[in-house]
Amino acid sequence: MLPNEETVMLKIENLHARVEGKDILKGLTLSVNPGEVHAIMGPNGAGKSTLGNVLSGRDGYEVTAGSVTFNGVDLLSLEPEARAAAGVFLAFQYPVEIPGVNNTYFLRAALNAQRKQRGEKELDSMQFLKLVREKLKIMQISDELLHRAVNEGFSGGEKKRNEIFQMAVLEPKLAILDETDSGLDIDALKQVAQGVNALRSSERGFLVITHYQRLLDYIEPDFVHVLADGRIVESGDKNLALKLEAQGYAWVNDKDPALTGASA
Amino acid sequence: MSEAQRTPFVESLLEAAAQAQLPGSGIGWLDAARRENLDAFVAGGLPDTRMEAWKYTALRALGQRRFAAGDAQASTRAIEMDRYALAGIDGPSLVFVNGVFRQDLSRADNLPAGLTLQPLSQVLKGDAEPLRFALSRHYRDGGDVFARLNAVLAGDGVVLRVAANAKIAQTVRLLFVGAPADAALASHVRQVIELGEGAELSLVEQHVATDSHQNLGTQVTDIVLRQGAKLRHVTLQDASDASTLVRHDSLQLDAEAHAAMYALELGGSLVRHDLHAVLAGDKSRLDTGGVFALRGRQHVDTQMSIRHQALNTTSESVWRGVADERSRGVFRGAIVVAEGADGSDASLSSKNLLLSAQAEIDTKPELEIYADEVKAAHGATVGQLDERSLFYLRSRGIPLAEARAMLTAAFCRAVFESLPDEGLREHINERLMAQLPSA
């Protein structure tokens, strides 16, 4: 079950991070290969969203120890836009509404900015529209979303689907889904999962961060990791998620020496 | 008034007034008006910041500067008109270079029926009587110092009339080009605009520069809309970053008239714009909107006043300001609903973005209501770009500078969304993106 060191795409080693002076990640180690779907589960406050934010480069997260390499590059030294260009995509738990910026304009600017950073030729509007139409079909999304401002007035389900649609257009190597299931009813959840599954490929890795097992009924993970108090305390296959669902997170805390010993 | 207060500024303009050979001199009432305003200008000098209307704009440095009387080459300078073209706007136009009318660059032949469009210099050589009311104004408020100056020295400008019920399909364009001369010079433009009953007009006014210059420009505009007339007026102020520009607009709306006044302030070192409107007739309506986007050490001060003076009048004002680096933006919006102006509906929004710790924005909405049954709302904010939005854009690969420009342009764009002319909206967006921080 251990990833092959030769092909590893994302390698997180002994990662420590703090937010507003508070230690959140306390020695997290994890590797993701292309083609693999890793689920990160854990109780509230375990550091799940912090992990997504640290990997995508959000301000306010201070890495105090450890390293993250992405295809051999020191990911933590890159600006957020450079991480995106390198192929890291974060699907936000709370996608931001940006009034006045048209969704299509935004996506084209994003794609071309990434291409430019990678030294690739930018797409003209015809090429871009062709690409967008293909992706809309895969995602089964109406093109009406394209004509609106980014996420403005979108329902919870529309926002999450828009995240996955962006992922489809930007074609990242690593997609981090931060509690993508939160706030979704079962129909919306299925639609989002369907979109994610359509994007699974042997070249793309996924980090699916979630509190509930529910999402994993629809996005079947190759690996499940339990995150508690800032580190991974248990790893397994999809059956681990079922165990968590049945038993809750209480047993996790018993496994964590940090919680029985020193306090924060 | 003591000689001690005759600053170099006042001295240089007095010299200009003494030398000036203005069109229309010899017309008794005009000579008298010029003389009265000159006396008031000399007596009052430049106001200081103790005067409320100039509280945030100090004129001390301007007072120490001298301006030459005019540009001897204004009528022959080569101008690359293509640089200032606006897509889709190729109708009638008047072009001025350093305040002087340029027939060769203008398009004022074969005008549509009902449209009168003439340079003031020509009108003053003929029958000036129809302008008597506008040009006899005596600016009694010491704060109107530049209007006084303009009344003394303006020898050119725009006379625009639309006959009753004439609906002019093509947008009329007024282009003011500033160009560097041997010395910093002052030019003065006077505009008189009247739309007859039921007339309709769309007007675009551009202020541009061939190259950086330190000139002073003053402009005074009187606009009257007769019953049921409709005017859309868009000003694109893209003047030289080293120039001083003062515009003073007065607007009167008769019953059921509707004016939409927009301003985009991008250029200038020291810019002042006064917009004073009176909703004089029942059911008249005024929409105003403006954006200033500033950088370097630019200083732009907009002073707007709207007076609701009749029944069931409406005004809606949407202003946005952005200040980067060490720039300073000032907005004052005063709305007065006079006694008896029942059924008035007034709203004013002023939202502002500070992009740098050294920039400053002062915004001051004021509401005075003396009538009953009035709907009025105003709000003003000064804030910064939303960090969450910035990160969202960056997380998708958009570099920080571009993300900032994108969010800032979006913030400003709301003002111009209701402009029906897509080419104009596009132009505004492009200019905003170019002006906003990208490095």
Q: A12 - beta bridge partners? A: A30, A68
Count of A–B CB contacts within 8 Å? 76
- Helix, strand or coil, per DSSP, at residue B401: helix
Share of chain A above pLDDT 70, in %: 93
Residue A224 to residues A56, A96, A178, B329, Cα–Cα distance (Å): 21, 28, 15, 55
Q: Give the side-chain half-sphere CA count within 13 A for B79.
A: 28
Q: For the CA atoms of B388, B393, B397, B398, what is the dihedral angle to 10 degrees?
A: -120
B322 in contact with chain A, both atoms CB, cutoff 8 A: no
Is there a contact between A56 and B395 if contact means CB atoms under 8 Å apart? yes
- What is each CA distance from B45 to B60, B62, B155, in whole angstroms? 11, 12, 21
* pLDDT computed for residue B437 by the predictor: 67
The H-or-E segment that residue B288 falls in is strand B285-294
Structure tokens at B414: 């709301």
Distance of alpha carbon B279 from alpha carbon B266, whole angstroms: 28
Which positions ≥6 away from A61 have C-beta within 8 Å? A17, A18, A19, A50, A53, A54
Q: How many residues does chain A have?
A: 264
Give the HSE-up count for residue B71: Cα atoms under 13 Å, Cβ half-sphere: 27
Would the pLDDT of A262 be above 50? no
* Digitized pLDDT (tens) for each residue of chain B, 439 residues in all: 444 468 999 999 999 999 888 999 999 999 999 999 999 999 999 999 999 999 999 999 999 999 998 899 999 999 999 999 999 999 999 999 999 999 999 999 999 999 999 999 999 999 999 999 999 999 988 889 999 999 999 999 999 999 999 999 999 999 999 999 999 999 999 999 999 999 999 999 999 999 999 999 999 999 999 999 999 999 999 999 999 999 999 999 999 999 999 999 999 999 999 999 999 999 999 999 999 999 999 999 999 999 999 999 999 999 999 999 999 999 999 999 999 999 999 999 999 999 999 999 999 999 999 999 999 999 999 999 999 999 999 999 999 999 998 999 999 988 998 899 888 998 998 898 888 765 4
**B390: domain range?**
386-439
Can you spell out the DSSP letters for B97-108? ETTEE-GGG-B-
Chain A residues touching B409 at Cβ < 8 A: 100
Give strand pairing partners of B332: B303, B364
Interchain pair A114, B397: CB under 8 A:
yes
pLDDT at position B438 is 55
Listed residues B281, B316, B346: the one ending a domain: B281
Do B277 and B390 lie in one domain? The reply is: no
Are the Cβ atoms of B389 and A98 closer than 8 angstroms?
yes
Nearest to A59 among B391, B396, B414 (CB): B391
Is residue B27 a part of any domain in this protein?
yes
Q: Do B302 and B328 meet the contact criterion of CB atoms below 8 Å apart?
A: no
Q: Is A193 on the interface with B (CB under 8 A)?
A: no
More confident residue, A137 or A6: A137
The identity of residue B309, as a single letter, is Q
Query: Which one of B395, B398, B413 has the shortest CB-CB distance to A100?
Result: B413
Q: Which amino acid, one-letter code, is at B266?
A: L
- State the pLDDT at residue B3: 46
Segment A218-229 mean pLDDT: 94
| Average pLDDT over all residues of chain A | 90
Q: For chain A, say whether B385 makes contact (Cβ under 8 Å).
A: no
Residues B92-111, buried b or exposed e (16+ Cβ, 10 A)?
A: bbbbbbbbbbbeebbbbeeb
Contact A77, A88 (CB under 8 A): no
Q: Is the CB of residue A169 less than 8 Å from the CB of residue A201?
A: no
Contact residues for A128 (Cβ-Cβ < 8 A; gap 6+) = A107, A108, A111
Residue B149 to residue B159: CA distance in whole angstroms: 19
Higher pLDDT, A260 or B184: B184
Which sign does the torsion angle of CA B83, B87, B91, B92 carry? negative
pLDDT at B118: 97
Provide CB contacts within 8 A for B385, sequence distance 6+.
B353, B355, B404, B407, B408
Number of other CB atoms surrounding residue A133 within 10 Å:
11
Residue where one domain finishes, among candidates B250, B281, B312: B281
Q: Report CB contact under 8 Å: B414, A100.
A: yes
CA B253 to chain centre: 18
Q: What is the pLDDT of residue B36?
A: 95
Closest residue in A to B397 (Cα–Cα): A81
Token pair in block for residue A112: 């071309």
B35 vs B20: CA distance, rounded Å = 13
Distance CA A165, CA A138 (A): 9
B397 → closest Cβ in A99, A101, A117: A117
CB contact under 8 A, B402 and A170: no
Determine, yes or no, domain membership for B358: no
Q: How far is A1 from chain B (nearest CA, A)?
A: 31
Partner residue opposite B399 with nearest CB, options A57, A81, A106: A81
Amino acid type, A5: E
The amino acid present at B156, given as its one-letter code, is D
List, in order, residues 6 or more apart from B401 with CB less than 8 Å away. B437, B438, B439
Which range has the top average pLDDT, A147-156, A175-184, B316-325? Answer: B316-325
Q: Which residues have CB under 8 Å from A127's CB, separation 6+?
A: none
Closest Cβ opposite residue A100 in set B392, B396, B410 = B410
Please tell me the total count of domains within chain B: 2
Best residue in B396, B415, B429 for a mutation probing chain A (most A CBs within 10 Å)? B396
Contact A98 B407 (CB under 8 A): yes
In chain B, whose CA is at the least distance from the CA of A98? B389
Reported as a single tens digit per residue, the pLDDT across A94-117 is: 999 999 899 999 999 999 999 999
Chain A residues lying within 8 Å of B398, measured CB to CB: 81, 109-110, 113
pLDDT at site A255: 66
Q: Which of A54, A61, A94, A98 to mutate to test the interface with B (most CBs of B within 10 A)?
A: A98
DSSP state of B393: H
Q: Is B414 in CB contact (< 8 Å) with chain A?
A: yes
**Helix H or strand E encompassing B109:** none
**Residue A194 neighbours by CB under 8 Å, 6+ apart:** A140, A218
**Out of B388, B400, B411, whose CB is closest to A96?**
B388
Q: Does residue B380 lie within any of the structural domains?
A: no
pLDDT at B15: 92
CA angle B150-B151-B155, nearest 5°? 75
Q: Are residues B239 and B123 in the same domain?
A: yes
Using DSSP, state whether B219 is helix, strand or coil.
strand
Same domain, B200 and B55: yes
For chain A, the domains span 10-260
Residue ending a domain, choose from B248, B281, B314 = B281
Going by C-alpha positions, the residue among A262, A198, A248, A255 that lies closest to residue A44 is: A248
Secondary structure string (H, E, C) spanning chain A: CCCCCCCCCEEEEEEEEEECCEEEEEEEEEEECCCCEEEEECCCCCCHHHHHHHHHCCCCEEEEEEEEEECCEEHHHCCHHHHHHHCEEEECCCCCCEEEEEHHHHHHHHHHHHHHHCCCCCCCHHHHHHHHHHHHHHHCCCHHHHHCEECCCCCHHHHHHHHHHHHHHHCCCEEEEECCCCCCCHHHHHHHHHHHHHHCCCCCEEEEEECCCHHHHHCCCCEEEEEECCEEEEEECHHHHHHHHHHCCHHHHHHCHHHHCCCC
Please report how many Cα atoms fall inside a 13 Å half-sphere around the Cα of residue B388, on the Cβ side.
7
Q: Which of A90, A98, A111 sits opposite B395 (nearest CB)?
A: A90
Helix H or strand E encompassing B206: strand B200-209
Q: Please, what CATH class does the domain formed by A10-260 belong to?
A: alpha beta
Place of tokens 């927009």: B262
**Using alpha carbons only, how large is chain A's radius of gyration in Å?**
18
Residue A139's pLDDT band (boundaries 50, 70, 90)? confident
According to the model, what pLDDT value does residue B398 have? 97
**What pLDDT sits at residue A1?**
47
Q: Residue A2 burial (CB < 10 Å; 0-12/13-18/19+)?
A: exposed
DSSP state of B425: H
In this structure, is residue B349 part of a structural domain? Answer: no
Q: CA-CA distance, B66 to B44, in Å (whole number)? A: 17
